[in-house]
């Protein structure tokens, strides 16, 4: 009760458990990291559903619905139609009192859901941002500079941006980009390959 | 999070997968292409439903409901009553943070749903605009000039307009129309024949 | 009818029954203790649900949903998947006419639900505050000084704060902290170990 004194920066010291992804947010106050947390509530015939919390605005709620439909398709293509059909899922974005909105966490939400479904943690030291469409296209986002600075402050080494933001990145000053390895993606499959590599692969 | 810096122009490089159609929008800012993406969420007895995302206004949500009912009728006439009865469907219109409204994507939404149902991609290099009624009549739309310019910018060769917009088209300057092949339609069946031709036919 | 003449301080004389936890609130009027009361409404196949009362704002309602999902996970990890799946639960925060909001009762709500599920009363003389995330991370809260004073007024000996509030605590005057034993936690499991110790353990 009372206003939240802190953002959700640094909730997870280093590696994250399955279901958790580090995203990047951009507000009037600048950029910040944020975490997407996905959890399974229960499982059973016909229980497939998604609940969201974290004071998400309308666009971000829709973004979660799109990520849910798309992640289901990805898993179906891998031969598992049952997980999303039978799982009541819950996605939360701490901190709980901070209003959040926008479509740019789409890739991160899809990744959180797939990380949970596959029980496979996301590659450490990776932060991502990008809107995802219902067929897995990755659309550009705003706040490239602010998000880059936030990623650096949080200490990650890899940052994932939409291909459509390549020019924004290239226009950043050399010292802003220093120390970060950037990955540009056009299709969600590239996000998957980077964030949730198959066991035994790089 | 933060305002969307780009429209959804050019999400799909050339051909689109089944379920995706290029439409044309008209706003205070001018015309633009937009994509309608349809995906199947799950299938089962009594699961027939439609969910929409993409910050659609009331008119466009109704337009999707009309397209859904009408596409079901088209498929039933082809002997398949099961697909829409048993499929939970999701239609999204990127980009997710851009509010959209109006009835003019009706033909495109119906086509996206039928393309998905038939697992047949829409003819490449085609953009369409037109309101559809519950029985398949195609009604005229606004912004013919702006939509024509947007179609040209996007590089498509074929553009589909309602018959009721023929005069608007004919009043366009010659250089605006140059390079585009226009198709006027009165009935949705004509849209279907152009966008989703039977295999083995033109 | 009319404004509530009393806060909920001192509803429970000393020990609390299973399902009840003492939390700490912070308002424009200063700090106060508050109780989280959890009760089982009914039990049966597919009846798992959570209802909240107590004039809770949107953030606090979400906080209860998060606590519910997380407490379910804690109990599942202990081998009991049935309780939350089959129990219609009700969480109330007296007094009923006082509006309450914010995420800082998260740990207390999760603890109330787990105390109820395990039929085990919470350790007496303990008041707690802290936001909980969907994976059990404990996030810092506001109003450390006001909550500390409220805890002292209520006569508890132990107070539980998020690790992220350690500095706030250390900046309190010596006489404010006197008489209280403080516990800082980063993970909900530490809350559980303090509040609901295994029988036979400390």
Model confidence over A121-172: pLDDT tens digits?
999 999 999 999 999 999 999 999 999 999 999 999 999 999 999 999 999 9
Q: What is the pLDDT of residues C44-99, one digit of tens each?
A: 998 999 999 999 999 999 999 999 999 999 999 999 989 999 999 999 999 888 89
Q: Residue B8: name the closest of B31, B41, B39, B28 by CA.
A: B31
Interface probe, candidates A62, A136, A149, chain B, greatest B C-beta count within 10 A: A62
Whole-number CA gyration radius for chain C:
16
| Contact flag A59-B96 (C-beta cutoff 8 Å) | yes
CA distance from start to end of chain C? 45
How many Å apart are CA A65 and CA B66, to the nearest integer?
22
Report the gap between the CA of A37 and the closest CA in chain B (Å): 17
| Catalytic annotation present for C104 | yes
How many Å apart are CA B120 and CA A36, to the nearest integer?
35
Average pLDDT in chain A: 92
| Contact flag A62-B39 (C-beta cutoff 8 Å) | no
Q: Is the pLDDT of residue A44 over 50?
A: yes
Report the gap between the CA of A33 and the closest CA in chain B (Å): 11
A6, C139 Cβ separation under 8 angstroms: yes
| Contact flag C139-A90 (C-beta cutoff 8 Å) | no
The pLDDT value given to residue B27: 81
| Contact flag C131-A94 (C-beta cutoff 8 Å) | yes
Q: Residue A12: name the closest of A1, A20, A4 by CA.
A: A20
Count other Cβ atoms within 10 Å, centred on residue A166.
14
- Annotated catalytic residue: which of C100, C145, C147, C152? C147
Smallest Cβ–Cβ distance between B1 and the set A48, A100, A137 belongs to: A100
* Mean pLDDT, range C136-158, rounded to an integer: 95
A15 pLDDT tier (thresholds 50, 70, 90): confident
C21, C115 Cβ separation under 8 angstroms: yes
Q: What is the pLDDT of residues A88-112, one digit of tens each?
A: 999 999 999 999 999 999 999 999 9
Q: Residue C161: name the closest of C24, C27, C33, C20 by CA.
A: C24
| Contact flag C164-A55 (C-beta cutoff 8 Å) | no
The pLDDT value given to residue C13: 76
Q: Is the pLDDT of residue C7 over 70?
A: no
Report the gap between the CA of A163 and the closest CA in chain C (Å): 31
The pLDDT value given to residue C160: 98
B161, B144 Cβ separation under 8 angstroms: yes
Smallest Cβ–Cβ distance between C139 and the set A6, A53, A55 belongs to: A6
Q: What is the pLDDT of residues A46-91, one digit of tens each?
A: 899 999 999 999 999 999 999 999 999 999 999 998 999 999 999 9
Write a three-state SS string for C130-163: CEECCCCEEECCCCHHHHHHHHHHHCCCEEEEEH
| Contact flag C135-A53 (C-beta cutoff 8 Å) | no
* Set of chain C residues whose Cβ sits within 8 Å of the Cβ of A38: 134
* Mean pLDDT, range A177-184, rounded to an integer: 97
Kindly write down the DSSP assignment for every residue of C12-63, as one continuous string. SSS---TTEEEEEEEETTEEEEEEEEEEEEEE-TT--EEEEESSB-HHHHHH
Q: Is the pLDDT of residue A5 over 60?
A: no
How many Å apart are CA A170 and CA A157, to the nearest integer?
17
Degrees, nearest 5: CA angle A78-A82-A85: 120
A34, A54 Cβ separation under 8 angstroms: no
| Catalytic annotation present for C201 | no
- Annotated catalytic residue: which of A8, A63, A87, A104? A104
C69, C29 Cβ separation under 8 angstroms: no
Helix (H/G/I), strand (E/B), else coil: C68 = helix
* Set of chain C residues whose Cβ sits within 8 Å of the Cβ of A90: 65-66, 69, 134
A198 pLDDT tier (thresholds 50, 70, 90): confident
How many Å apart are CA B175 and CA B87, to the nearest integer?
45
How many Å apart are CA A157 and CA A104, to the nearest integer?
20
Give every residue of chain B whose pLDDT is below 50, as ranges: 1-8, 202
Buried/exposed C22-36: b ≥16 CB within 10 Å, e otherwise: bbbbbbeeebbbbbb
Helix (H/G/I), strand (E/B), else coil: A200 = coil
The pLDDT value given to residue C193: 97
Starting from the edge strand earliest in sequence, which strands make up the sheet with B158-162, in order? B49-53, B87-92, B30-43, B20-27, B126-128, B158-162, B181-185
- The DSSP output letter for B80 is -
Q: Residue length, chain A?
A: 202
Helices (H), B2-57: none
Q: At which residue do the structure tokens 């996970």 appear?
A: C73
The pLDDT value given to residue A10: 75
C111, C191 Cβ separation under 8 angstroms: yes
CA distance from start to end of chain A? 45
| Contact flag A143-B51 (C-beta cutoff 8 Å) | no
How many Å apart are CA A99 and CA B163, to the nearest integer?
47
Smallest Cβ–Cβ distance between C133 and the set A3, A37, A42 belongs to: A37
Smallest Cβ–Cβ distance between B1 and the set A65, A104, A137 belongs to: A104
Helix (H/G/I), strand (E/B), else coil: C170 = helix
CA distance from start to end of chain B? 45
Task: Please determine, for the modelled complex, whether the ipTM score is greater than 0.90.
Answer: no
């Amino acid at each position: 009760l009372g206003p939240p004194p802190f953002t959700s920066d640094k909730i997870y010291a280093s590696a994250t458990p399955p279901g958790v992804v580090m995203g990047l947010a951009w507000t009037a106050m600048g950029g910040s990291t944020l975490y997407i947390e996905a959890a399974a509530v229960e499982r059973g015939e016909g229980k497939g559903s998604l609940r969201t919390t974290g004071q998400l605005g309308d666009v971000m709620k829709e973004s979660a619905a799109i990520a849910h439909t798309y992640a289901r398709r990805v898993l179906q293509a891998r031969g598992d139609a049952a997980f999303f059909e039978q799982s009541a899922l819950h996605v939360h974005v701490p901190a709980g009192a901070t209003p959040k909105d926008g479509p740019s966490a789409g890739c991160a939400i899809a990744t959180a859901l797939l990380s949970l479904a596959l029980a496979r943690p996301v590659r450490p030291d990776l932060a991502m941002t990008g809107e995802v469409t219902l067929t897995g296209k990755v659309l550009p986002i705003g706040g490239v500079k602010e998000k880059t600075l936030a990623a650096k402050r949080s200490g990650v080494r890899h940052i994932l941006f939409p291909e459509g933001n390549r020019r924004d990145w290239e226009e950043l000053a050399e010292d802003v980009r220093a120390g970060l390895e950037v990955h540009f993606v056009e299709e969600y499959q590239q996000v998957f390959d980077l964030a949730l590599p198959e066991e035994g692969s790089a």
